[in-house]
Structures are given as C-alpha cells and as structure tokens.
Amino acid sequence: MTSKTKLLGHAVHPMLVHVPLGLFVTTALFDTIDRFAGHATSLAVASFWNSVAGVASALVAAFFGMLDLFAIPRNTRAFRIGIAHGLGNLVMTGMFGICAALRWSNPGYRLGAGGFVLELAAVSLSMVTVWLGTELIEHLGVAVDDTAHLDAPSSLHDIPVHRPH
C-alpha cells in the first residue's frame, strides 16, 4: 500500500521523521558535551531549542504517520508494528517535552541529572522506534509499495546465523 499523503510523488511521513530525530539526537549530544565539559559551554541553550523544535516537528510527522497508519488493514502485522512505532514515538516525544519543561526555569536551560537520564532513555527508545519504522517501510513495503505484504515475517528472520559444523 502506498502512502495516502505524498509530496512530489514521495510519502510525506518518512520524509519528515528525519527532522525531529536529528534534533533529538543533537539535543542529547549537546547535553552530553555540556555536562562533561563542566557546564563550560553554551550548548544547553541550543539543546533546549533543539528539543522544542524536535517536539514540534515530531508532532507534525506524527500527524502524517497517523494518516498512513489508519490506511493499513487492522488485522495485519504491519498495523500492529505501526501502532507500536507510533506509540513509542509519542512516548519518546513526550519524554523530550518533559525535559524541555524541566529546563525552562533552570539557569542557562541546563538539564538536571534526572532529566539527562530521561533524555538518554528517550534517545534509546528512538532507536527501537526507528527500527520499527524501517521494518514497516523497507521490509513490509508500507507507504511505498502497492503490492506490500503486510503480514511478512520479521526481517530479523533474514539474518544469517552462523552455526558451527
């Protein structure tokens, strides 16, 4: 099944997801550098605004993802993966939103230790949701292929396993 929302012939949701993901990873990277540099940098301010822009752009991407999700037949593996992908991304976006709110009243928009751990957990969750999204598009063909096999087994089944003789 191809995407219900396209721009110049390409599915909109897969194009948009790179923006929040890049902003969120950069947020965590800047905060890590700032934290280990003894807060001697101004990267915390950039992290704050990256996280705000990341949350806003993630919500836009989520809207288009939701349009594609509800076009998938409900009784398929693709729909179940899509639900996990979407919910995981909403949780991750919420985690970054909480971190942005925690920074609001802190001097220099610095994130405390608890917020920093939450931010790292959110980035870790994003790795899972990225894999799920890639499974949808590259393995199941959701949004890109009218002949998609929406109940194909996991791509993890395709990984060769070396067994000694």
For 48-81, how does the pLDDT look when each residue is reduced to its tens digit (9 = 90+)?
A: 999 999 999 999 999 999 998 998 889 998 899 9
31 phi and psi angles, rounded to 5 deg: -65, -35
The CA distance from 69 to 77, in Å, is 12
The whole domain housing 43 covers: 6-155
Residue 1 lies in a domain: no
Residue 139 lies in a domain: yes
Q: Containing H/E element for 6?
A: strand 6-7
Residue 41 lies in a domain: yes
Quote the number of domains for the chain.
Answer: 1
Residue 107 lies in a domain: yes
Residue 161 lies in a domain: no
The CA distance from 47 to 45, in Å, is 5
The CA distance from 57 to 16, in Å, is 8
- Output the pTM of the full model: 0.84
Residue 42 lies in a domain: yes
Residue 165 lies in a domain: no
Report pLDDT digits (tens) over 114-155. 999 999 999 999 999 999 998 888 887 776 666 766 666 677
